[in-house]
Amino acid sequence: MTSTSARRSLANFLIWLCGIWFHGAVLAAGTPPADCHGIRDLVIVAHMDDDLLFMNPDIDATLAAGGCVRTLYMTASERNDGASYMRSRESGVRAAYARMAGTQDNWSMQLETVAGRPFASFTLEHDPRIQLWHMRLTDPWLGKGWGSLTPLSQAESVPGQSVATLALPPSIYTRQGLVDTLAQLIREYAPTVIRHMDDSVAIPYARLCWRCSGHDHPDHISSARLTREASMRAPGPYARIGYVNYPTQERQVNLADSETARKTDIFQRYAWQDNRYCPTGRDCNSPAGPTAAWVARIYYVTPPDSTVSLMPGTAGSLQLLGTNQYDSTPHVWQSATGQWQSPGGRPVTAPLGVRYPDNSTGLLALDAQGQLWTNNSDNTRTWHGWRRLAGFTQTHLPAISQEGTPALVALDHQGQIRWTETREHSHIWREAVTLPPLAHIRAEMALVRDLSGRLTVFALDRAGTLFTLRQRAPNSHDWQPWQRLDAPASNGGLAALRNRQGAIELYFRDQASQHLLRLTQSSDDQWQTTDLGVAYRGSPAVALDTLGTSTVAVRGTDQDALWILSAGVAYRLSEHITSSPALLLQQDGLYLAARLAETPQGYRIWTQRPPGWKRLDTMAVSPDTRGTPFSTNVEHRQVFQTLK
């Protein structure tokens, strides 16, 4: 070690000792309280204030619901002002979280270690559900403009680069060290949701610029990419929600006035401690400029492979459910009018379509707190407003069975499997029921009714083993035990149907080859596996065609081609798609829809016409949209009917 680096390490260590003396003795390692109401948010951002500007009101809503929040700030955020400015910003975020909790701004400090690495951790004394962790990676302002100008973004993007800590026991991270440490943090905290920054920006750091197309800060992007990679190293049943950052200021205001007021009040508690926002203290005029735009908006990163649904419309017409490319707001295209309409809402993923027995069309959407919402339209194509389904708080959208009475099953935040179905001839969902547990279950499931009307659930454990669970009788609360299926290990992509002989067919992805496999039920309730030979992404679409033949559509791994498999024949369409496809059987034929790999965002519908498939409509979605809070569309109330 050179004399210069030795002096720097000694100074760094002395700053850390001063911090321990100032904030209190080192305490035991921090763990989330036992009572988090089954909700544990892990928030990973680059700088102090990123969470307040780009992820609220979601964090505030988690705390209001009784959940726990651990926020990790990766950088020291000191710019060129050193540890004193870093500490003022850390004081600011503590004041903001205390405001969210509605309690005094008193915190205890701990020195934590994860994977042998040091972290400064603060726990709110009157509400220990809230923990703020600081990795304190050095973050000097290295020049004007953008590009790879920060140690974190250099470590993430340039081979051989590293980044050191500030005001902590000295530690140096390589890119791999950052991923390993974040992965271990995920394993130890066991979150129900990870909230991170935008990992979809593909522009190289050196080409980023302020307010250019797709712009953002290099550290925002690098923190999100590292989080994404860490989550792959530490898989679990948690949800991952990405947030758009700087570019939200170019989009429409989508927070209600009350949400903006609350978010502004919380942010001001931070700004009063940050002399770049408020040089004169509490009498400053903040938020202002771009900050004023950010506190009035929240947008989620919506991947192009978001779910597509096809639903029947009036008089034999079609309805296609897609999302806007700038957010996850649902958009419904009506073939009868050739127009898109949006029922509003602010889901974090693309909603699912439901076909109700009363001939109405339904949507199921998941919000940022894991609550499930429903909306429906009648023959007038009027949407009647969002209503919350009671008994559902989960990380992923449910599996739906459309045969007869619609039913759904989902894994909730506490690892319980929840099931419900609609009342006969209605769109009203019954009260949720808890099903028998399955150890280490994944969130993805498939649901189908057998020939007698009994529901059958298919699920995977974390090792990829397939299991099935079945009702003892239709509409019964009594279910048979979980049964392990003799099938190859799978990494997901589940879908199920009942074929024309009345037997259940399960489609799933082979973990080794990524091929589409079919598991077919025999008359003696045995199962036979067939390799259909096509490697695919996402989930299959399954349906019977007009002749009763089982038909499957998938998004292939070969340049995202659209594959149709029917009667033992695989047919490759020339289209390149970005979403999993959707299938719908109508009286006049079988229809297929998918999102196209093109800009601007567009969808296409095909129909089965001998001897193959024929293109019908191609529709582009207008980018001029905004999501609205679910609770402003309809009175916030639970919707269910008790199971009889």
The token pair that represents 551 in the structure block: 């038909």
Span(s) in the chain for CATH 3.40.50: 3-294
Sequence-ordered list of residues with C-beta below 8 angstroms from that of 238, at least 6 positions apart, any chain: 42, 186, 190, 191, 192, 193, 194, 231, 395
Whether 293 and 260 have beta carbons less than 8 Å apart is answered as no
Strand 399-401, strand 455-461: pairing:
unpaired
- % of the chain exceeding 90 in pLDDT: 67
pLDDT at 634: 41
- Yes or no: domain 3-294 corresponds to CATH 3.40.50: yes
3-state SS, residue 350: coil
- What whole-number distance in Å separates Cα of residue 149 and Cα of residue 154? 7
User: Does residue 45 carry a pLDDT above 60?
Assistant: yes
More reliable by pLDDT, 20 or 112? 112
- DSSP secondary structure code for residue 246 in this structure: G
pLDDT at 620: 85
- What whole-number distance in Å separates Cα of residue 434 and Cα of residue 51? 34
User: Does residue 612 carry a pLDDT above 90?
Assistant: no
pLDDT at 16: 44
Neighbouring C-alpha atoms within 13 Å toward the C-beta of 573: 25
452: amino acid identity, one letter: S
- Region 474-490: what's the mean pLDDT? 95
- Region 153-165: what's the mean pLDDT? 95
User: Does residue 133 carry a pLDDT above 70?
Assistant: yes
The beta-strand segments (E) located in 277-349 are 309-312, 318-323, 330-334, 339-341
- What whole-number distance in Å separates Cα of residue 330 and Cα of residue 348? 10
Span(s) in the chain for CATH 2.120.10.70: 309-639
Neighbouring C-alpha atoms within 13 Å toward the C-beta of 397: 19
More reliable by pLDDT, 149 or 197? 197
* CATH classification code of 309-639: 2.120.10.70
Confidence of residue 491 (pLDDT cuts 50, 70, 90): very high
More reliable by pLDDT, 97 or 27? 97
- % of the chain exceeding 70 in pLDDT: 91
pLDDT at 623: 62
**68-75 sheet: strands from edge to edge:** 107-114, 117-124, 130-137, 68-75, 40-45, 193-196, 239-242
- Region 508-529: what's the mean pLDDT? 94
Q: Give me the torsion for CA of 448, 453, 454, 456, rounded to 10°.
A: -10
Instruction: Name the β-bridge partners of 310.
Output: 320
3-state SS, residue 574: strand
pLDDT at 207: 84
Whether 130 and 124 have beta carbons less than 8 Å apart is answered as yes
User: Does residue 379 carry a pLDDT above 50?
Assistant: yes
- Region 9-19: what's the mean pLDDT? 45
Q: Where are the alpha helices (DSSP H) in 190-300?
A: 218-233, 257-271, 290-294
**Cα–Cα nearest to 406, from 352, 331, 463, 469:** 352
pLDDT at 13: 45
User: Is the sign of the CA dihedral 120, 122, 123, 125 positive or negative?
Assistant: positive
pLDDT at 628: 82
pLDDT at 622: 67
Range in 186-195, 353-362, 522-531, 625-634 with the lowest mean pLDDT:
625-634
User: Does residue 6 carry a pLDDT above 60?
Assistant: no
The token pair that represents 347 in the structure block: 């889901």
- What whole-number distance in Å separates Cα of residue 105 and Cα of residue 87? 15
* CA dist 247 → 54, 208, 213, 330 (Å): 10, 12, 8, 21
Confidence of residue 9 (pLDDT cuts 50, 70, 90): very low
pLDDT at 625: 65
- Region 284-309: what's the mean pLDDT? 89
Confidence of residue 353 (pLDDT cuts 50, 70, 90): very high
Instruction: Name the β-bridge partners of 312.
Output: 318
For 410-442, the pLDDT digits (tens) are 999 888 999 999 988 888 899 999 999 999 999
Range in 3-7, 162-166, 616-620 with the lowest mean pLDDT:
3-7
pLDDT at 211: 78
Range in 207-211, 219-223, 389-393, 515-519 with the lowest mean pLDDT:
207-211
pLDDT at 10: 45
User: Does residue 643 carry a pLDDT above 70?
Assistant: no
Confidence of residue 12 (pLDDT cuts 50, 70, 90): very low
User: Does residue 515 carry a pLDDT above 70?
Assistant: yes
Average pLDDT value over all residues in the chain: 89
* CA dist 148 → 49, 176, 204 (Å): 21, 18, 9
More reliable by pLDDT, 535 or 147? 535
